[in-house]
Structures are given as C-alpha cells and as structure tokens.
Structure 1
Amino acid sequence: MKIAGEFQVDAPQDRVWDKVRDPELMVQCIPGCESIEQIDPMAYRAKVSVKVGPISARFNLVVTVLSEEAPHTVISRTSGEEGTRASVVSSDNVLRLEPTETGGTKVSYEADVSMTGRLGKFGLGIFRKKADQLADVFVETFRHKLEVAA
C-alpha cells in the first residue's frame, strides 16, 4: 500500500530538519508511540500501539536511515512485528523538505507499506483510512510543536 502526502510548517527548513531526527519530539507526535530510542546514528527502535477495527496491536519497530541529504531528504526503512509475530509490518519511506516562499517548510512523505498476519487480513480500504487518520494526527501535533515553540 502506498501512502503519500504533504503539509507545510511555519518554521525554517533547517529547524524542521533537526526536529524530524529528534526522537524526543517524534515520540510526542507519532500516534500510539510509547517510546523511541536511538540505537546508533542511523537507526532507532520504537514501540507503537495501533488499533485497526477491532484489533489492537503493539509493534516493536526498527527504523533504519538508509541515506540522507541534509537538510532536505531522508530515505528510511521501517520493519517490525508484534511480540507474537501475529502481524509483521515493513515500510520503505522517503521524506523531503523544501523551503517555502514565506520562510516555512513544505514536508512531503511517501511510504510503501506491507502488512502480513492478523492485521494483514484487513482490506486496503481500512488500512488506508487508518493510515490517513494517523498521518493527520501526526501532522497537526508536529506542526503545533514546531510553530508554538518558535
């Protein structure tokens, strides 16, 4: 399933770049995120809970930054599973930042997500709706944290 979107933040590109790599901020912005720890300069471990339809799941995820070009592009891979391997998720991700004419930043994202197991049984429509809901919550929280702090 492909997920893509874009939004603007009223903060300069360099500041947004710093914040997208800040685990302390990301744990506050990602819906259902319980913890994020930096394993090394290019990898993070996260625990994320999500509810899809009647099923609640808690994922142990590893996010690996495959490449980055500061301050505008991060290419990463996310993979993980529920503790019982009841569901397995993987995602190839691209995040792009570009300055706006007003001094803010346009943030674009793309993810190619694969889900197997008990959550994989749900149809594409349910996953897309849930992904869109989670993205909306992230965008609003991230934007608020950066713009209020400025």
Structure 2
Amino acid sequence: MDMTGQRTLKATQQQAWEALNDPEILKACIPGCKKFEATGDNAYAVAAGIKIGPVAATFNGNVQLTDIVAPTSYKLNFDAQGGVAGFGKGESSVELKPLPEGCELNYTVHSTVGGKIAQLGQRLIDGVAKNMAEDFFKRFEAALEERYPPAETPADSGAAAPSPTPASASGMPTWVWAAGAVAVAVVIWLISR
C-alpha cells in the first residue's frame, strides 16, 4: 500500500516542528495512543489501540528515524504487531515547507500488512484510515493553536510577542516529533493495507 497526504498548518515551520517534538502533544493527538517512548538513539516504541469492524487490538510498534534534517524533514522505518489481529511494516517520509502564513506538512507511506486485519474489506479499512488521519490532524491543529495562539503584532499591542518555549527545554532532541508522525503513519498503515 502506498499513501501520500498534505496538510496546511496555521503555524510556522519551526512551531510545527517544536509541537511535533512534544511527546505529550503527540500522545494526546494520536488516536488510541497508549505509549510513546524513546528506546534508544532515534528509536521509539509506540502502542495504539485500533478497532476496525470486528477486529480490535493493541498494536505495538518500533520506529527508527533516519535522514533527519531539522526543521524540514526525516525518513523512518516502522514495524508493528497486533497479535492475532495482524502485523505490518513499512517506511515513511515527512516534510515541512514554510508558507507565508503557516507551513505545509507532506507525507508518504509505503507499507505491507498481514493477518486478520488484512482480510477486512478495503472500503472499511480505507474509511477508518481516513477518519483516524482526520482525527489526528484536528487534534494536532487544536494543540498547535493552544500552544501558539494568534498573537497581536507588536505594533498592535505595544509589546513584543512572546517567543515560544523551545521543545528542547524538555530535554528531547528537536526531531523527536517525527516519532509522533510515525505513530500516525503506523496506525494509518496498519489499517489501510
């Protein structure tokens, strides 16, 4: 299965990169996310509960990040196991491009799945994948707006606009956000064979 997508965000490229670096934001935005943890250099463990028709399971996945170019892009490899529900593996890439009033997030996913989940009807799988992706982006856009609310310009308010707190203050590298996108890719990939 191959999938591509694009989303325009109302945040700067740097703000999107920093928000996607925050593990708490990612865990809250990824549908069904139960775990989001670093396991080594550029490696993460992710667990997400998924229900598609009669099949429900927790998928445990591993993600390895490569070709990280902060704050622009990365590539990743992932695999996940859902017990009798199925398994999957694949690769993805994510890119952020600055726009005059925000940024554009582009992604590609190439994956394969097997097991019970692969036996479900393609229409059902596609519908759930689209709903989960839309749910993630709605949550993420709300988190971005909460974290970086539209500010008055310094000329309007008479004061300098506050600068956002860098995500690196949490002690995590600035590209950790990629793992969150990976988790979404894993979830979408698992349900959209």
Q: Residue by residue, what CA displacement relative to the aligned partner does 1:56-115 show, whole Å, maximum 9, x if unpaired?
A: 011111111122111111111121102x3541111211111011112x111111111211
Q: Is the 8 A contact 1:3 1:131 kept in 2?
A: no
* Number of matched pairs: 148
TM-score (normalizing by structure 2): 0.72
Give me the identity figure in percent: 26
The CA distance in 1 between the partners of 2:32 and 2:80, in whole Å, is 15
1:18-37 per-position Cα deviation (integer Å, ceiling 9, x unaligned): 22233222111110101100
Q: For 1:138, what is the secondary structure of its paired residue?
A: helix
Q: Which amino acid aligns with 1:9?
A: L
Q: For the Cα contact (< 8 Å) 1:3–1:128, is it kept in 2?
A: no
What is the Cα-based RMSD across aligned positions, in Å?
1.4
Q: Which residue of 2 aligns with 1:140?
A: 138
Q: TM (normalized to structure 1)? A: 0.91
1:38 alignment counterpart: 38
More strand per residue: 1
User: Which residue is equivalent to 1:121?
Assistant: 119
Q: CA deviation at 1:46?
A: 1.0
Q: Is the 8 A contact 1:9 1:147 kept in 2?
A: no
Ranges in structure 2 where 5+ consecutive residues have no aligned partner: 149-193
CA–CA distance in 2 between the matches of 1:51 and 1:68? 32
Hey, which of these two has a bigger chunk of helix by percent? 2
Q: Map Cα deviations across residues 93-149 of structure 1 (whole Å, 9 max, x no partner).
A: 1111011112x1111111112110111112333222211111000001001101121
Q: 1:61 — aligned with what?
A: 61
1:17 offset after TM fit, Å? Answer: 1.2
